[in-house]
Amino acid sequence: MAVVGLTFRALSTLDICLRVGPVLRERYEDVQDTSRDLVDLNIRVENVWIRIEYQLNGVLRSEEEVPQVLCDHREGLLDQLLVLLHTAFKNIDKATEKNGKRKVLKFVLFTKGSLDKDVSALEKWRDTFGSTLHMPSIPRTPRFSRRVMEAKPRSDTSPIGSAIVDANEPTEQLPSFWLDSFRMYSLDPIGYSGAHIVFDDNTHTKYIMETIIVDQGLRDYSELDQEVEFLAEVLGEPKDLPGILTCKGVVRKVGTDGQLEEFQFILEMPHGLGDTPSCLRSVLHRSTHEPPPREDRVLLARQIANAVISVNNLYFIHGDMRPETVLIFPNPGSTLGVPFLVGLMFRSAVGISFRAGDYSWSKSLYRHPSSQGTHPNNIYRMQYDIYSLGVILLEIGLWSPFVDHNGQPGVALSQIVPILKDGDQSQGNAQIKKIFITMAQSDLPQIMGAKYADMVVACLTCLDRESELGSEIEFPEDDGILVGVRYVQRILRVLEEIEG
């Protein structure tokens, strides 16, 4: 994978933005006394610029080199920021006199139109650019760096999950993520997710607990221990990574016979949000008859897509995305809340799979036909997450649960019942994919608009030869890690263009 830094042109653009942004912020401060509307806009401008300035300075300070494809993407975003700042300047000038006082007639029009759109555009840019910052900063610990950055595409038959370590490299003391068994009270299962809210009696702290059941047929747990610790280390690295819960550590649960039964992942509650999450499946069931506004559904879709980027930026593939593995945490400023991905079917891009494929129609519903069942056809690829994202976004757009309270096909999917009864799993999976595409093309446009519908179709066909998201040939990285990231970034751009 080729790595480069920003070009001189991009650095110049970044420097101009850093000089222009504070001036724009001052212009809003100068005129805020003239209207309550401008006071609110000024607060938003101040908040968004503080974050953007922090992001841009972080890029300047970083000594990490980044892959060429990501570097090009950042440069395009910097050009876009310069245009947004220039447009915002023009519009604030049109809405005010030279001495800073507002033009009364024009201000009424601009406050409801251009000025608000300018600030919203900057807020969207902040979120988009923020998603590009995590990739180069994640591989910080020696173990993670060796496993990810030195990994090569698997073209031989070496064991899955084998570590890549230089035998001559001195051993370093790395922090352990294993936790001693401590007194926990399981408060509540979280809907259909399989995760639980637990309470640590010692620290009086709530956590999310997820488990990996151990195959009792295994004779040697040493490799599994290493892989679980690796996953815990990766999930323990990022703080405030969009859509990812930080891992405090892992508890080994041992039975009365001394046999290892399961690994319990202890995940921290996200800062600033409520501590009573629901899974997306439960949220869909609760409000089926009163769907949330379109703009709230688009925001939720955008946040879930950002979470997928976070997973891929960690060099992992989720592999089991569905409404049960999306936890929604209450947020005072949001109708639906903020989504986080769980499920612990994460597969490292360097080659570990914690579980073999399984067959359950309600799980397979969200998986690409070539990755379903007890014997998936191919090694997991990042595009499989894109397909799963497409099915979830289709369900969010229609706001009709695909799986009912009894675990049977929901009203929106009544047409797949004969396919499930047929028994030909391989053919049935392909038929269900076609049904999803037809639903996206025929039902979504009038509900969510053409852009949203087209984007869902693009997700569902991401592995097709004529994919609208582009061919893998466009992304020539040796290990393919960035392919999924770039796909989701294209999806995000579409979601950001959709007005409420």
Q: What is the pLDDT of residues 108-124, one digit of tens each?
A: 455 556 788 888 889 88
User: Which stretches within 95-141 are classed as H helix?
Assistant: 104-112, 114-130, 134-137
- Three-state secondary structure call for residue 248: strand
Confidence at residue 154, expressed as pLDDT on a 0 to 100 scale: 37
Extents of the domains making up the chain: 3-137, 172-268, 278-497
Confidence at residue 492, expressed as pLDDT on a 0 to 100 scale: 81
Confidence at residue 359, expressed as pLDDT on a 0 to 100 scale: 63
- Residue with the bigger pLDDT between 94 and 25: it is 25
User: Model confidence over 230-278: pLDDT tens digits?
Assistant: 888 888 875 667 899 999 999 988 888 888 888 899 999 998 899 999 9
Separation of alpha carbons 75 and 428, rounded Å: 44
Which of 165-169, 238-242, 449-453 has the least mean pLDDT? 165-169
- Residue with the bigger pLDDT between 429 and 349: it is 429
Q: Residue 172's pLDDT band (boundaries 50, 70, 90)?
A: very low
Nearest to 475 by CA among 35, 67, 16, 22: 67
Give the CATH superfamily of 278-497.
Transferase(Phosphotransferase) domain 1 (1.10.510.10)
Q: Residue 429's pLDDT band (boundaries 50, 70, 90)?
A: confident
Contact assessment for residue 133 and residue 58, using Cβ atoms and an 8 Å cutoff = yes
Residue 499 pairs in a beta bridge with none
Q: Find the mean pLDDT for residues 342-369.
A: 67
pTM of the complete model? 0.69
Contact assessment for residue 331 and residue 274, using Cβ atoms and an 8 Å cutoff = yes
Nearest to 205 by CA among 280, 271, 282: 271
Sign for the pseudo-dihedral over CA of 93, 24, 492, 362: negative
Cβ contacts of 123 within 8 Å, gap of 6 or more? 44, 48
- Judged against a pLDDT cut of 60, whether residue 377 lies above it is answered with no
Contact assessment for residue 477 and residue 483, using Cβ atoms and an 8 Å cutoff = yes
- Residue with the bigger pLDDT between 354 and 91: it is 91
Separation of alpha carbons 198 and 183, rounded Å: 10
- Residue with the bigger pLDDT between 481 and 170: it is 481
User: Model confidence over 47-90: pLDDT tens digits?
Assistant: 899 989 988 988 887 766 666 667 777 888 898 898 899 888 88
Angle formed by the axes of helices 68-94 and 104-112, nearest 10°:
150
Report phi then psi at 143, rounded to 5.
-65, -45
Confidence at residue 92, expressed as pLDDT on a 0 to 100 scale: 80
Residue 254 pairs in a beta bridge with 260
Q: Which CATH architecture group holds 172-268?
A: 2-Layer Sandwich (3.30)
Confidence at residue 122, expressed as pLDDT on a 0 to 100 scale: 92
Separation of alpha carbons 439 and 416, rounded Å: 12
Q: Residue 148's pLDDT band (boundaries 50, 70, 90)?
A: very low
